[in-house]
Chain A
Amino acid sequence: MTVLELLGSMGKVTPGDLIPILQEVQNQYGYLPQGVLLEISEHTIIPASRIYGVATFYEQFHLEPRGKHIIKCCRGTACHVRGGSTLIKDIKNELGIDEGETTEDLQFTFETVACLGTCALAPVMMVDDKYYGKMDAKKVKTLIAELRSAVKETA
Chain B
Amino acid sequence: MQQFNITMNDRLLAGRSGQTILDVALANGIEIPNLCHDSRLKPTGSCRLCLVDVQGQRAPVTACSFQVQDGMVVETDTPDLRSLRKTVLRLLFYEHRGSCTTCDDNGECRLQQYAYDYQLNTDVLDRPPLPSVPNYTSGNEAIDYDPNKCIRCGRCIRICEEVQMDSALTFRERANQVEVSTAFGMPLNESTCELCGQCISTCPTGSLYERAAKERGQCKDLVRTTTTCPYCGVGCQIDLNVNHRTNQIVRVTSRVGCVPNDGNLCVKGRFGMDFVSSSKRLTTPLVKQNGTFEPATWNQAIELIAQKISETKSKYGADAIAGLSSAKCTNEDNYIFQKLFRAVIGTNNVDHCARLCHASTVAGLARAFGSGAMTNTIDELREAECIFVIGSNTTEAHPVIGLAIKDAVVNRGAKLIVADPRSIDLVRFAHLHMTQQPGTDVALINAMMHVIFSENLHDKDFITERTECFEDIRAVIQSYTPQQAESVTTVSADQIAEAARIFAEAKTASIVYSMGITQHTTGTDNVLSLANLAMLTGNVGKESTGVNPLRGQNNVQGACDLGALPNVYPGYQSVEDEAVREKFEKAWASTLSPDKGLTIIEMLHAIETDDIRALYIMGENPALSDPNLTRSRKALEKVDFLVVQDIFMTETAEYADVVLPSTCFAEKEGTFTNTERRVQLVRKAVDAPGQAQGDWQAICQVAAKMGSPMQYENAAQIMDEIASVSPIYGGMAFDRLDPVGLQWPCPDRDHPGTKYLHRGKFSRGKGKFHPVQFIPADEQTNDEYPLILTTGRQLYQFHTGTMTRKSAVIDQVSPTGYVEIHPGNAKRLSISDGDSVEVATRRGRVTTMAKVSDIIEEGWIFMPFHFAEGPANMLTTDALDPIAKIPEFKVCAAKITPGQ
Contacts and interface: CB of A to CB of B under 8 A. Distances in A.
B182 A57 contact: no
B172 A51 contact: no
B169 interface: yes
A49 B183 contact: yes
A41 B170 CA distance: 14
Nearest to B183: A48
B404 to A, nearest CB: 21
A59 B173 CA distance: 9
A59 B174 CA distance: 9
* Residue from B157, B171, B173, B183 with most neighbouring chain A CB atoms (10 Å): B183
A52 B184 contact: yes
A49 B174 contact: no
A56 B172 contact: yes
A47 interface: yes
A90 B735 CA distance: 79
Secondary structure type dominating chain A contacts: helix
B174 to A, nearest CB: 5
A109 to B, nearest CB: 18
Contacts of B167: 47-50
A11 interface: no
B181 interface: yes
A50 B171 CA distance: 8
Contact of B171 (A34, A53, A63): A53
A50 to B, nearest CB: 6
Interface residues of A, number: 15
B173 A49 contact: no
B729 to A, nearest CB: 46
Contacts of A37: 183-184
A47 B161 contact: yes
B184 A50 contact: no
A122 B474 CA distance: 91
Given A47-B161, A50-B167, A34 B174 contact: no
A57 B174 contact: yes
B9 interface: no
A135 B157 CA distance: 46
Contact of B172 (A41, A48, A53): A53
Contacts of A38: 183
A52 B181 contact: yes
A33 to B, nearest CB: 11
Nearest to B157: A49
Contacts, number: 47
A36 to B, nearest CB: 12
A114 to B, nearest CB: 12
Contacts of B182: 49, 52
A12 B191 CA distance: 26
A34 B174 CA distance: 19
Contacts of A53: 170-172, 181
A140 B169 CA distance: 43
Nearest to B178: A57
Nearest to B193: A49
B192 interface: yes
* Residue from B167, B184, B191, B192 with most neighbouring chain A CB atoms (10 Å): B184
A63 to B, nearest CB: 8
Interface in A52-84: 52-53, 56-57, 59, 63
B168 interface: yes
A56 B172 CA distance: 6
Interface string B127-171: 000000000000000000000000000000100010000011111
A57 B173 contact: yes
Nearest to A63: B184
B411 to A, nearest CB: 15
A49 B192 CA distance: 9
Nearest to B177: A56
A50 B173 CA distance: 12
* Residue from A47, A49, A53, A57 with most neighbouring chain B CB atoms (10 Å): A49
A37 B173 CA distance: 17
B395 to A, nearest CB: 16
Nearest to B136: A49
A84 B183 CA distance: 36
Contacts of B169: 49
A27 to B, nearest CB: 21
Interface in A20-41: 34, 37-38, 41
B863 to A, nearest CB: 26
B183 A52 contact: yes
Contact of B173 (A48, A51, A56): A56
A31 B169 CA distance: 22
B153 to A, nearest CB: 15
Contacts of A49: 157, 167-170, 181-183, 191-192
A59 B170 CA distance: 17
Contacts of A52: 170, 172, 181-184
B327 to A, nearest CB: 37
A111 to B, nearest CB: 15
Contacts of A51: 183
B442 to A, nearest CB: 35
Contacts of A50: 167, 170
Nearest to B173: A56
Nearest to A54: B170
A37 to B, nearest CB: 8
A52 B184 CA distance: 6
Interface string B601-616: 0000000000000000
Contacts of B161: 47
Interface in B168-224: 168-174, 181-184, 191-192
Closest 8 CB pairs of A and B: A53-B170, A47-B167, A48-B183, A49-B170, A52-B183, A56-B172, A49-B183, A56-B173
Given A37-B183, A57-B171, 4 more contacts: A37-B184, A38-B183, A47-B192, A51-B183
14 contacts: A47-B161, A47-B183, A48-B192, A49-B157, A49-B169, A49-B192, A52-B182, A52-B184, A53-B172, A56-B174, A57-B172, A57-B173, A59-B174, A63-B184
